Amino acid sequence: TVTLTGPNNTTLCTTTASASGTYSCNVTLPAGPASITAVASNAGGTSVPAVSSFTVVGPASLTVAQPQPGPTTQPISGTATPGSTVTITDPNNATLCTTTASASGTFSCNVTVSPGVTPVTVTACTSGGCATQSVSVTAVSPPTVGITSPANNGTATTSPTVSGTATPNSTVTLTGPNNTTLCTTTASASGTYSCNVTLPAGPASITAVASNAGGTSVPAVSSFTVVGPASLTVAQPQPGPTTQPISGTATPGSTVTITDPNNATLCTTTASASGTFSCNVTVSPGVTPVTVTACTSGGCATQSVSVTAVSPPTVGITSPANNGTATTSPTVSGTATPGSVVTLTGPNNTVLCSTMATAAGNYNCSLTFSPGPNSVTAVACNAGGCSSPAVTSFTVTGSVQLAVRVFLQGALINSTTTGRMRDDLRSKGLIPTIEPYSAMNYTHIGGGGESITSPSVLSVTGANAIVDWVVVELRDANTPSTVIATRSALVQSDGDVVATDGVSPVTFGSGVVSGPSYYVAVRHRNHLGAMTASALSTSANSTIVVDFTSTSTPVYQYPVGNPLRTSAPMAMQSGVPALWAGNTSGDSRVIMQGPGNDPDPIFFDVINDPNNTSGFSNYVRNNVYSLSDVDLNGRVIFQGPNNEVDIIFFEVMSHPDNQANQYVNFIIRQQLP
């Protein structure tokens, strides 16, 4: 009989040795160091104990972590009995991986499976036994990624939307220069992604990488040029024609579009390499707001300006009339658009004059031509452009010049030099520099408004000293009552009538041509006028001499039988013919007594003088330029020595036609029709 005892002499088993002398017995022991003692006994006694000391090894332990979805090759890990052998097999019992648990009881072993879910078996074995656990391995393929926009080698704005394709639900990371992360997003279930990024203008590149449980994709790269939004500066257009350019600067190569208030395109152009542009637009006359837009692939810039369009002007020539005649110094006049600049040109396109049309639409220019055929072309220009030319062709016949001599009776009275008039008005500084006749309501024809050209004209003394202003008239040869032209002029002490420069003959240009014959008349503000007895012939560039101071010069008288006729159309003063003095009323008669008499204006002139506060009729008005100054000495005297009334009285009483009756109310009549 064999008895097996363990620790603490605990009987583990009792059995009988076989006939062949062997025994066996199943016992249960705890893991760890152990010893068993065997004692055999029979009738002969008890044997010497047999002892066996050994280590009891238990079956293996096993815990496997459930793998997360991952790539097709991924680790399976967990804990097992240290030193145990861990084997992983697939559903077909093919070994995928074998490893040994570490001393700390951990293990990890890479397995490679097909994409999808693969069940695997993990077995841990020791000499004490094996442990098994099943887990599922989910394998995911690595993702893919691509960039659709911006296209490689293309362009983009500074704020582009980067878009493309990637494995659904993968994480897409976009990086820029220096591996700077620009954006991270998730691909949609349909496998697309997009991300707004901000980039500086210039060359750029973006790298896209997609990642998921299966790993990281191969990078996708797009290199492109970032174009910033267009710049734009538009110059404010100046008023111009209905078709005019709009110009400015914009980003080189940008597309510039100009639209009207209705968004209709007026013009499209491309900014030059230097960034300038100019584009013609056509608008209606007036002010039109337009919008200028410059665009690049990076964006647009807009600016509004106003375009002021002006219609082209018109022009016409009124005088000289086409196919008519003119003097050598005509005034070319006509109509033109108000404010336009009118340029007159002659043969060979020579510029003759440039002037501006008045607000009323008129213009005029005084020109000089040689006798013969001539033509003038008028063109008007303004901001709207230039007019069609207006042309007039005419024949220049030359101007009419007069060398006239005449005495004024009043200025001859008390003259100390034979054949000279007194120049008291000049020496006292009383002669106005502008002709006085327009202010007296005298109607000038082609003249009027003349003025003394220089103060030196009134500084001359002696024979050429200026006595006063007169008017010279040219009258129609067939109807002498019709005045053709007038000129205000100056009469010198010796009787010469000169132009306002104090030297030149009196010249008639506008409205007068040489060739025809004219009556010549001379008038004065308070003397009766006189006219040649007949019309005098004229010729180009020649001077007509009319000497009213000569008794041999025939002077006009009303026809015989006319009650206005007189035998003395001019007075005789100091032995020479002179214009009758005393017409203080400024009419056509000298009257001493009766209605419309000439002493009355003298009386009222004196009485109403502001300095004659006492109302004396013998008050003397000094240093005056007055119609009442009969003798032209700068004084007006009604009563007393050297008074004006006496001059009129003795004129009337000594008139040749009043010798028989000696009527005080006799009327001296001017002999001008």
The burial of 662, by beta-carbon neighbours within 10 Å (0-12 exposed, 13-18 middle, 19 or more buried), is given as: exposed
Asked if residues 46 and 39 have their Cβ atoms less than 8 Å apart, the reply is yes
Say what the pLDDT of residue 28 is.
84
Query: Taking the CB of residue 279, how many other CB atoms lie within 10 A of it?
Result: 17
Q: How many CA atoms lie within 13 A of 289 on its CB side?
A: 5
**How confident is the model over 553-571, as a mean pLDDT?**
96
Looking at residue 133, its pLDDT comes to 95
**pLDDT, position 447:** 79
Residue 547: alpha-carbon gap to chain centroid: 65
Per residue in 354-406, pLDDT tens? 999 999 999 999 998 887 789 999 999 998 889 999 999 988 776 688 999 99
Question: Which one, of 584, 581, 617, lies nearest residue 598 by Cα?
Answer: 584
Establish whether domains 145-226 and 315-396 are of one fold: yes
Q: What is the pLDDT of the chain when averaged over all its residues?
A: 93
Confidence at 538, pLDDT banded by 50, 70, 90: confident
Q: The tokens of 100 are what? A: 């040994």
Which of 471-475, 509-513, 561-565 is predicted with the least confidence, judged by mean pLDDT? 509-513
* CB of 405 closer than 8 Å to CB of 450: no
Q: Please give the average per-residue pLDDT across 631-640, as a whole number.
A: 97
Q: Is the pLDDT of residue 189 over 80?
A: yes
Which amino acid is present at 294? Answer: A
Predicted confidence (pLDDT) per residue in 256-287, tens digit: 999 999 999 999 999 999 999 999 999 999 99
Q: Which CATH architecture has domain 315-396?
A: Sandwich (2.60)
Entry pTM: 0.49
pLDDT tens digits along 295-349: 988 889 999 999 999 989 999 999 999 998 877 778 999 999 999 999 999 989 9
Query: What is the pLDDT, as a whole number, of residue 345?
Result: 96
pLDDT value for 56:
72
Task: List pLDDT tens digits, range 478-535.
Answer: 999 999 999 999 999 999 999 999 999 998 865 566 678 999 999 999 999 999 999 9
Confidence category of residue 162, pLDDT binned at 50, 70, 90: very high
Q: What is the DSSP string of 297-345?
A: TTEEEEEEEEEEE-PPP-EEEEESPTTEEE-SS-EEEEEE-TTPEEEEE
Alpha-carbon span 615 to 617, nearest angstrom: 6
- CA–CA dist 492, 471 (Å, integer): 13
CA distance linking residue 59 with residue 367, whole number of Å:
137
Backbone phi and psi for residue 438, each to the nearest 5 degrees, phi listed first: -60, -40
* 466 sits in which H/E element: strand 466-476
Predicted pLDDT at 227: 84
Alpha-carbon distances of 542 from 318, 397, 547, rounded to whole Å: 28, 11, 16
Looking only at the bridges linking them, the beta strands covering 351-356 and 341-345 are antiparallel
* pLDDT category of residue 177 using cuts at 50, 70 and 90: confident
Q: What is the pLDDT of residue 511?
A: 59
- List the one residue out of 388, 389, 379, 350 whose CA is nearest residue 367: 350
Number of H helices, E strands in the chain: 4, 51
Would residue 46 be called left, alpha or beta, if left means φ above 0 and alpha means ψ between -120 and 50 degrees? Answer: beta
Residue 460: which of 494, 488, 487 has the closest Cα?
494
Dihedral sign for Cα 180, 183, 188, 190, please: negative
Asked whether residue 540 carries a pLDDT value surpassing 60, the answer given is: no
The tokens describing 295, both together, are 């665009």
Q: What is the pLDDT, as a whole number, of residue 53?
A: 86
State the number of CA atoms in the 13 A half-sphere of 654 facing the CB.
11
- Give domain limits for the chain: 2-56, 62-67+77-87+98-139, 145-226, 315-396, 402-567, 578-669
Hunting for tokens 């013609």 — which residue is that? 280
Q: How high is the pLDDT of residue 201?
A: 85
Q: Contact at 8 Å (CB) between 462 and 493?
A: yes
CA–CA distance, 290 with 23 (Å, rounded to integer): 120
- H/E stretch holding 409 reads helix 409-412
Of residues 42 and 540, the one with the higher pLDDT is 42
In this prediction, residue 106 carries a pLDDT of 96
| Contact partners, residue 320, CB within 8 Å, separation at least 6 | 326, 330, 332, 376, 392, 394
The superfamily in CATH containing domain 145-226 is Immunoglobulins (2.60.40.10)
